[in-house]
Amino acid sequence: MDSKGNSEKKKDLTCVGKSVRRVDGWPKVLGKAKYTADHSFEGMLFAAVKRADFPHARIKSIDVEGAQLPGVEAIMLEEDIPGNPRFGALNPHQPVIISDIVRYLGDGIALVAAKSEKIAREAAKRIVVSYEELPGLFDPREARKSELSIHPEGNEIVHHVLRKGEVSEGFAAADVVLERDYQTQFQEHAYLEPEAAVAVPQPDGGITVYGSMQHPFSTRRVVARVLGLPLAKVRVIQGELGGGFGGKDESSSIVCARAALLALKTGKPVKLVNTREESFVESYKRHPYYLHYKVGAKKDGTLTAMEIEIVADGGAYASMSTFVTWRSVVQATGPYTVPNVKTDVYAYHTNNTYTGAFRGFGSPQIVYASESLMDELAAELKISPAEIRKKNFYQQGGETATGQTLKHVVSLEPALDAVLAELNKKPLEQNANPVFSRGRGFACSYRGVALGAEGVDATGAVVNLLEDGSAIVSTGVAENGQGLRTVFSQIVSEELGIPLEKIVFLDCDTSSIADGGPSVASRCTIMGGNAVRHACLQLKERLNLSEQPDLQKAIKATLNAGKSLYAFGWHNAPKVSWDEHTGQGDAYFTYVYACQGVEVEVNNQTGETKVLRAVAAHDVGMALNPQQVELQIYGGVTMGAGYGLTEEVILEKGVTKNPNFNGYHIPDSRMIGEIVPIIIENPDAAGPFGAKTIGEPTCELLAPAIANAILQATGARVRTIPATPARVLHAMQKEGAPA
Amino acid sequence: MQHKILLTINGEQYENFVSSERTLLDFLRDDLGITGSKKGCDEGECGACTVLVDGIAVDSCLMLAVEADGCELLTVEGLNKSELDPLQKAFIEHGAIQCGYCTPGMLLSAKALLLEKNDPTDDEIKEAIAGNLCRCTGYLSIIDAIRSVAKGGG
């Protein structure tokens, strides 16, 4: 099947490819899984943060006098920070707490540690800050032209370009040219567990931090920098994670750093837990995008040119904006062969909540726009949405917008066919009540796997095989609730022939394994899985299992020979490339393909849209655990429905108007009638057992599928998401559809 | 002001002093160290703190500890006896768990439903857990798990 030995036939496998149950299910159903806020230590203090009162203001003075309540043990300002008070992956300009200029309402100004949470919060409330209010910028399109600069380095965070062919020639050759604008919103991750940290000072002057973070190593970097400690003296242990979805990076690092500052200052353990409201106000969101698309096509649907300009709201700090928008520039055309492409993606600072990584990472916005556009173009050309896509789909051996040749199996057409077959199994039946109109729609995508040309992409794993044939496994990527412990344990079980019950998975502890990069970009299975496999292959070689297949005997012989059964596997991703001046290169080492379809019912009087049925076909390379793949699909489709229909953080002049679940509506159990998952398998040479990825592609497709279905149901096109009842009604009135 | 309360939690008697504004959730988690119930929103929207009070599913962040005086409480820690509760088993079997933060509350809302009705319809199941938010699973596997127990006569 490929040159790397990934030629296992699925039927020959004993554990991989099977829907084994989660290895961490027991502690979770027993209520014994320890999330960060469940940790408690003798003499522990509780922390609270005094936050900014204005979204953009110069701090004139900070008066902590009134906060010195009985029970308060420490109050810290920026000047009390022993290390560097600023951090950031690309631009280290984000403050842990700040004393000069606040740039959004989530900024912290002072930290308090007290004997109880109640006292700490009361004390924080009593800190008086006087400000000189500064004019704010709340729209990235204004920030683009404004003389006002939020940071000394200017408002522009990044400008990515992609140039392929000559768009003017492409448009000249077109029979039809269409221009459309689309807009997307701030979306909140809404992990059920708010950010939390418990920092415990150590006798050697170092610190141990338990935290609810996705990336313990990023957190270690921030905490060490802020405390002025060597990395080795900062030990970060991931608590059981109550959801992340990309959101627990800087948002969690900052909470951990604050708890650590207070713990070192007081010499006592300190717990800091954000309230839901603090989480909404402080943590970064999905970027709102303003997207302008111009597309040219021949009468038969053949695309001739695409010109795209995207402006993203980066909010107050740079965070991951550069990386998020880079994925957008790579994938902005959608999975279609376009000979002439000109794409510009910009991100600008505003005084809104900052924006960063969120499951999908710059793709849900562009998939929403480009897949709405394809339907609009098909209507203009009077051909079917399926036909126009099939005419232009990327093909194996074909070239992407970035000039990359796709050498693996490109499964766009099978994915689309599978979805349409399932979706149209029964003819569309209208509700007998004429108030309701039903419609169907779908959307397709391709997605680069793992980090790609964003940067170094490598990770490690330890497999420690013990004398009785049990094994301890740990990896540099972390369980985020997605099922990594289970899938990695399956790989070990498969390779070494030991039952899952004899495998213990250690939680991520930065002092016990090499920095394996972040648990992002749907890279854990493909990167971490390969690392686990490399460790197992080393062990197999040492055990000489090909000649001594009895594992117990092989273990004994290997140990008697003085050899170790402790193996460290390291996996470095295949080579990628990128020319930032042209936007050309092999952006990712492989891609996944997907299609999702949906049937909706729109209430013509209220504009309310219901998802009756969703069908999702995803090529995952190979499903290492089909049940877990299906769960990712269910969860991602549901999150995509929220993105398309209900979820929007309302920011008015930098103020979050709906900072809890009573005003911010994530899908509940009644939101979706049915979800049909379809798993497509085309094993990929780059993945363990041929596996690629599933986490993120699942949530980038439902919003455009819904928009396309709403059009079929009502004749109205919604070009701003979420498609709230008001927006749907407005679009219907504009189209003159029956109300 | 401190009040003396007497209550039963998971079959064990507790006698404690609590202040009048202490929520039942904070009392359980912070005073007693019974941390299975989770805090997600602290305003009765997410259901992660759901416990059973005299057999009724309640958001423990909306109830005061003093209101639970004389009551019988069941939290996730009390669900399993000598073996797992059928719901706990079904949640594992059907993949109704991902990050697990909503799981304790979800299990107890399901328990309350099945105590009231042993053969609920799908709509009744969805309604019973409508106040329990889950961001990971998309709910379908949770509904499957609850249905399987109901059908099994649990």
Q: Across the 739 residues of chain A, what is the mean pLDDT of every consecutive 10-residue run?
A: 46 94 96 98 98 98 98 98 96 98 98 98 98 98 97 98 98 98 98 98 98 96 98 98 96 98 98 98 98 98 98 98 98 98 98 98 98 98 98 98 98 98 97 97 98 94 98 95 96 97 95 93 94 98 94 97 98 97 98 98 97 98 97 98 98 98 98 96 97 97 98 97 98 74
Same fold, A9-33+458-572 and A411-449+589-739: yes
* Strands A655-656 and B12-19, sheet pairing: unpaired
Enumerate the β-bridge partners of residue A283: none
Q: State residue A7's pLDDT score.
A: 45
Q: State residue A521's pLDDT score.
A: 87
Cβ neighbours of residue A381 under 8 Å, at least 6 residues apart?
A176, A297, A299, A301, A388
Mutate to test the interface with A, among B129, B136, B137 (most CBs of A within 10 A): B136
* Whether the predicted pLDDT of B64 surpasses 80: yes
Please indicate if any CB of chain A lies within 8 Å of the CB of B49. Answer: no
Residues of chain B with C-beta less than 8 angstroms from the C-beta of A664: none
Tell which CATH architecture fits domain B2-77.
Answer: Roll (3.10)
Q: How many helices (H) and strands (E) does chain B have?
A: 5, 5
Q: Write the class of the CATH domain A9-33+458-572.
A: alpha beta
**Cis? peptide before A626, omega within 30° of 0:** no
ipTM: 0.98
Please indicate if any CB of chain A lies within 8 Å of the CB of B72. Answer: no
DSSP H/E element including A124: helix A117-125
Quote the minimal CA–CA distance from B59 to chain A in Å. 14
- Judge contact between A517 and A527, C-beta under 8 A: yes
Q: Which CATH superfamily is domain B86-149 in?
A: [2Fe-2S]-binding domain (1.10.150.120)
Q: State residue A9's pLDDT score.
A: 61
Quote the minimal CA–CA distance from B83 to chain A in Å. 11
Is B103's CB within 8 Å of A194's CB? no
Residues of chain A with C-beta less than 8 angstroms from the C-beta of B100: 24, 27-28, 33, 240, 242, 481
Q: Which of A143, A44, A46, A159 is nearest to A103 (CA)?
A: A143
Please indicate if any CB of chain A lies within 8 Å of the CB of B84. Answer: yes
Please indicate if any CB of chain A lies within 8 Å of the CB of B75. Answer: yes
Tell which CATH architecture fits domain A411-449+589-739.
Answer: 2-Layer Sandwich (3.30)
Query: Mapping DSSP to helix (H, G, I), strand (E, B) and coil, where does residue B36 land?
Result: coil
Tokens in use for B78? 């009390």
Cβ neighbours of residue A122 under 8 Å, at least 6 residues apart?
A69
Nearest to B139 among A22, A276, A638 (CB): A638
Residue whose tokens read 């829907």: A19
pLDDT band at B154 (very low <50, low <70, confident <90, very high): very low
Residues of chain A with C-beta less than 8 angstroms from the C-beta of B79: 29-31
Q: State residue A737's pLDDT score.
A: 53
Tokens in use for A202? 């150590």
> What DSSP line would sit under A564-609, residue for residue?
--EEEEEEEPPP---BTTTTBS--SS-EEEEEEEEEEEEETTT--E
Tokens in use for A592? 């996944």
Nearest to B139 among A35, A193, A669 (CB): A669
Residue whose tokens read 């709405």: A372
> What DSSP line would sit under A7-76, residue for residue?
---GGG-SSTTS-PPPTTHHHHHTT---BGGG---TT-EEEEEEE-SSSSEEEEEEE-GGG--TTEEEEE
Q: Which of A612, A592, A588, A593 is nearest to A602 (CA)?
A: A612
> Can you tell me the distance from the alpha carbon of A277 to that of B140, in angstroms, rounded to the nearest whole number?
28
Q: Where are the domains of chain A?
A: 9-33+458-572, 411-449+589-739
Give residue-wise pLDDT tens across range B138-150.
999 999 999 999 9
Q: Where are the domains of chain B?
A: 2-77, 86-149
Residues of chain A with C-beta less than 8 angstroms from the C-beta of B25: none
Residue of A nearest to B93 (CA): A21
Laid out side by side, the sheet with A675-680 consists of: A436-448, A591-603, A609-619, A675-680
Is B45's CB within 8 Å of A675's CB? no
Global pTM value:
0.97
- Judge contact between A533 and A545, C-beta under 8 A: no
Please indicate if any CB of chain A lies within 8 Å of the CB of B23. Answer: no
Is B33's CB within 8 Å of A243's CB? no
